[in-house]
């Protein structure tokens, strides 16, 4: 079984988005939120949250261009 065939990953892959960045963001979202819960409001968690949003915006802009 390859990593892309793991149940969670294959569910995301089949969820309707063909964009690998959005797929990665869907998988990373819960992880980022759990890290925020664990770390609290810290520079690391702030960078993680800001980075997540930056990737989302940047990928949308990239799709437009």
Partner 1 sequence: MRGATATISRDVGRILEALGGVVLASILVTLVWGEFYAIPAMVVAGGLPLATGAALRRRFGDADPPGKLHGMMVAAMGWLAVAVFGSLPFILIAWTIAIDPAGLGAPDLTGRAASTVAAFQNPLNALFESMSGFTGTGLTMTDNEAALPRTLQWWRTIIEWVGGVGVIVLTTAILARPGSGSLTLYESEARSEKIHPSIVSTVRTIWWIFILFTFASILVLWLAGMPIWGAINHAMTGLATGGFSITDNSIATYDSALIDFALIPVMTLGSIAFPIHYLMLSGDLENVYTDLQTRWLFGFFGLGSVLLTAIVYVRGTYDSLFAAVRYGLFQFVSAMSCTGFQTAVSATNVALGRWPMGAQLTVAFGMVLGGAAGSTAGGIKLIRLATLLKGIRFRIVDVFYPETAVRRLRINNRRLTETEASQEFTEAAIIALLWLLFLIAGVAGLLAVLPAGAYTLENIIFEVASAQGNVGLSAGITGPESLPTLGKVLFLFNMWIGRLEIIPVLVLLRVGFKRGGLY
8 Å CB contact between 52 and 29? yes
Q: At closest approach, how far in Å is the CB of 7 from partner 1?
A: 16
Among 19, 20, 44, 58, binds partner 1 (CB under 8 A): 19
Among 6, 17, 42, 58, binds partner 1 (CB under 8 A): 17
Q: Is 63 in the site for partner 1 (CB under 8 A)?
A: yes
Q: At closest approach, how far in Å is the CB of 52 from partner 1?
A: 6
Distance CA 50, CA 25 (A): 13
């Amino acid at each position: 079984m390859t990593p892309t065939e793991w149940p969670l990953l294959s569910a995301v892959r089949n969820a309707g988005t063909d964009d690998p960045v959005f797929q990665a963001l869907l998988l990373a979202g819960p992880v980022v939120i759990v890290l925020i819960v664990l770390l609290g409001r810290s520079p690391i968690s702030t960078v993680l949250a800001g980075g997540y949003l930056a990737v989302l915006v940047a990928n949308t802009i990239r799709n437009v261009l």
